[in-house]
Structure 1
Amino acid sequence: MNPQDKIDFHDVGQLTRQLTELTITPPRFSIEISPEEAYNGLLASITAEIAHRRHTLALDESTRRHLHEAALWIIDPKGKPGLLLMGTCGNGKTTLMRAIARLISFVSEKVLGYSQRLKPHLTTAKEVARLIAAEATRAEYNAVTAESLLFIDDMGAEPAEVISYGMVYNPLVDLIDVRYNRNLPTIITTNLTSKEIADKYGIRTLDRLRELMHVIPFTNPSYRQ
């Protein structure tokens, strides 16, 4: 060992900085705009998303709160890398998720250009389970788990276990483990409660979701009435 590279175990602060520099952690995804700009951008994006379905946005207090929380998450470079939209059916979780993806793609293309824009990958929990069920699509499943910005709709609608050629797979559990270990930004919607997540996937997965994701609860009634 070179004398200049001697480790000083008495200087904990310096040793911490040296060890931290060795840790390869991707920077937390964020958009560099103000809270007001992020809120207005999400409002425009969700309005466009709903118009695409030939509906009109109901801008009630619940929707404003959801937009506000999501806007703060989008611009926070030090926040949790994931976002979990939890609530019962029909109260706007999927619409907000798609609005977030639309805004990220639009803003990043305007700022970074088409070739460098952030490309959200949208899928469903059922599709994730389908990919791992067949050996022919296993590589595609692995690619999805490693996406730089992943959106998963309706966690809980898929089977917790998938058996393929005698092997038992846990598609969402395995995916969450990969995203957790790599600190990758992940946005998930679910109709499940925390207890139901623990019952279906195990307390370990629930614990990892809590560490990985900022939770936005959707307690408002369904808009599909």
Structure 2
Amino acid sequence: MNEQTGQNLSTHQQTRTIQSHYNYEEVCSWIERKGTELYGKRFRIIENDLPVIYKLISYFLKDEQAAFQYNIDFDKGILLTGPVGCGKTSLLNIMKFLAPVEHKFSVKPCRDISFEFINDGYEIIHRYSKGKLYQSEPKIYCFDDLGAENNLKYFGNECNVMAEIILSRYDIFISKRIPTHITSNLSASEIETHYGLRVRSRLREMVNLISYNKTTKDKR
């Protein structure tokens, strides 16, 4: 046996050591089939992405045994970060189908929210935090591509829309334990630069950070 074999296990071998009553390889096969259905025949799961995918599976299946090993907190949401084109949005869209009914969520691009703000103003902040008046509970959202939107002006007043929404989501996380999910290309320090120290601090309390390797290639 090669001397390095015991030390340099492949990504696939490392992920197979996870202790769980779920078969994660079978779940990955389902994810690949669902991805092909949603995104076409080019969709593939690659070995280097398995650590990220396994963490997401443990969270959305509420697999306590595996989540404990990954240090995943079910009370918190997910902040999925990584380079442009690594597959963050497509994975979260697939995870919608994996999540239990009571944990279903909607994926909303941050750029779309910024465009809605231009038309509807500050009501948008309320819509994506506390929800509409007829809703009994605020919805679970995944805010996709945080950082792709711009600060906008409404009647001359500039507003960092996503910063205000995240701060409002923090309040309902504390009071109602309703999670928020986010995808972003930004690092923690870049999030602080874009949205301020308060937002970075709140996110630390609100989300489990799951990150792709910085060298992950664009799959588009």
Task: Specify if TM > 0.5.
Answer: yes
Matched, 1:84 2:68: no
Give the one of 147, 151, 154 matched to 1:156.
147
Query: Which runs of 4 or more aligned residues in structure 1 lie more than 3 Å from their structure 2 counterparts after TM superposition?
Result: 37-43, 136-141
Map 1:63-142 → 2, pairs under 5 A:
63-74=49-60, 75=62, 79-104=74-99, 107-108=100-101, 119-134=104-119, 136=120, 138-142=122-126
Q: What does the per-residue CA deviation read over 1:172-202, in whole Å, with 9 as the maximum and x for residues that have no partner?
A: 1111111111112111111111121111111
Matched, 1:205 2:220: no
Alpha-carbon distance between aligned partners in 2 of 1:142 and 1:40, rounded to the nearest angstrom: 40
Give the one of 188, 192, 201 matched to 1:194.
188
Q: Which amino acid aligns with 2:114?
A: A
Contact 1:45 1:102 in 2 (8 A): no
Moved more, 51-60 or 197-206: 51-60
Where in structure 1 are there 5+ consecutive unaligned residues? 1-33, 109-116
Give the one of 163, 166, 185 matched to 1:176.
166
Alpha-carbon distance between aligned partners in 1 of 2:25 and 2:207, rounded to the nearest angstrom: 20
Q: What does the per-residue CA deviation read over 1:51-107, in whole Å, with 9 as the maximum and x for residues that have no partner?
A: 322134433223221221012222168534210110111111111110111222xx5
Where in structure 2 are there 5+ consecutive unaligned residues? 1-19, 65-72, 131-137
Q: Which amino acid aligns with 1:142?
A: H
Contact 1:46 1:95 in 2 (8 A): no
Which protein is richer in helix relative to its size? 1
Task: Percent identity, please.
Answer: 23
- Root-mean-square deviation over aligned CA pairs: 2.4
Q: Which amino acid aligns with 1:206?
A: R
Provide closer, same or farther for how the CA distance between residues 86 and 60 of structure 1 changes in structure 2, counting only shifts above 3 A: same
Q: Which amino acid aligns with 1:91?
A: C
Alpha-carbon distance between aligned partners in 2 of 1:56 and 1:35, rounded to the nearest angstrom: 30
Give the one of 205, 209, 215 matched to 2:209.
215
Partner-residue secondary structure (3-state), 1:44: helix
Q: How far is 1:119 from its partner?
A: 4.5
TM-score, with normalisation over the residues of structure 1?
0.70
Partner-residue secondary structure (3-state), 1:36: coil
Provide closer, same or farther for how the CA distance between residues 70 and 46 of structure 1 changes in structure 2, counting only shifts above 3 A: same
TM-score, with normalisation over the residues of structure 2?
0.71
Give the structure with higher Rg (CA).
1
